[in-house]
A = this chain, B = another copy of it.
């Protein structure tokens, strides 16, 4: 996974050494020699990762990290702090400032490259999600909203740990911070628990009894439910080869035993926050996609969806040789409802109309809100006489039972006028089919409303060739 990496260090020799190592692995390198320089390059060049020295004259690394995370332009860039400091309190301070990792010099190359690759991979995935949101021009609103939510609560954690004593201390630390921890003593146990509920984070001991912790991590990554759940791997100081392999397999972070309580909590917090952020970006995107094709008020399909769908239905006549029919209907004098009873009552009526329509059609038909008080029913493989029968049933279902509205509470009499049209010609366009249904609908209106008219087929059609059924 190639990437552009910004190295920030005030010692030129350090920069050159790291630059040479990264370039040999085909990374592209940018450099800055102090905090303000780093902020400028990060904002203008949008690197994929920042390797940030802590001890610099003027603005130190903690402050640089804090500012990078505050600026929406740079807040999504992963930061690895690199330093000679090896005090736990420094590590925690770095993680709390927003760093994704805190590596001590001298750097272990295997761990460094695996870390860089793994963080870059996560960023690319997140960039894809962010780009899709950017398309709506509302990424900024989205990020503001979900960041405040992602920070909010403690999480659900699954701990895979075979040693009772070790498990107990982790459960206590995390529990004291408000997290809810489930423990699994074996991989089998873990899989059983995951089948019941998906946690916000999985913590795995690399050295499980009779089991390879990495194989378990790998398994989690191949399952749909746990593909994106962060994994925190607990290793010993000499497990760097395994760690590198683990990061390649999709482990998201690690802790070296013996670890400090605050470091455990800081890394847990970071992972849970990121998980929630990703999940919400995904959920919002999924919602957008379904919202694009549904009507906000009634929840049924909208005109956009029907346009795509109806074109395809008509084209498929070529293969199936079966007619496609449509019913277009419009509520009679609906304006009066809004004017006399208010828009809220009008909205209630529209929702009820959608419900009655849905319960009066067959499973393979589709009801669409076409415009204000106008609806369309699309009926594949349906001859016009069957469609006219369905339309008549639907018309009667409106007429026979008054509509209840929440505000006011007076039951309202609502009727609809309906036009039915049908085609068995794959060359007829969806537009033309709808226009014929609309003409029939107008004929129904002119004939006194609350009735169904059917359009003649285009071949037979003269100027106003529609015939009334029902009423």
Which residues of A pack against B, CB within 8 Å? 1-4, 26-28, 48, 125, 128, 131-133, 135-138, 141, 144-145, 214-215, 217-219, 221-222, 245, 248-250, 282, 285-293, 296-297, 302-305, 308-309, 312, 334-335, 339, 342-343, 371-374, 438, 442, 445
Contacts and interface: CB of A to CB of B under 8 A. Distances in A.
B292 A291 contact: yes
Nearest to A47: B222
B292 A2 contact: no
B26 A218 contact: yes
B141 A308 contact: yes
Contact of A249 (B26, B125, B133): B26
A304 B291 CA distance: 9
A309 B343 CA distance: 21
A267 B348 CA distance: 57
A217 B1 CA distance: 11
A290 B289 CA distance: 9
From DSSP, what is the main secondary structure of chain A's interface residues? helix
10 contacts: A2-B221, A26-B215, A26-B218, A28-B218, A135-B286, A135-B287, A138-B293, A291-B292, A334-B335, A372-B372
Contacts of A248: 1
Contacts of A335: 334-335
B48 A2 contact: no
Nearest to A3: B222
A136 B308 CA distance: 13
A445 B28 CA distance: 65
Contacts of A145: 308, 312
Nearest to A307: B296
Contact of A292 (B250, B288, B372): B288
A438 B136 contact: no
A392 B335 CA distance: 25
Contacts of A342: 438, 442
Contacts of A438: 342-343
A286 B312 CA distance: 22
B28 A222 contact: yes
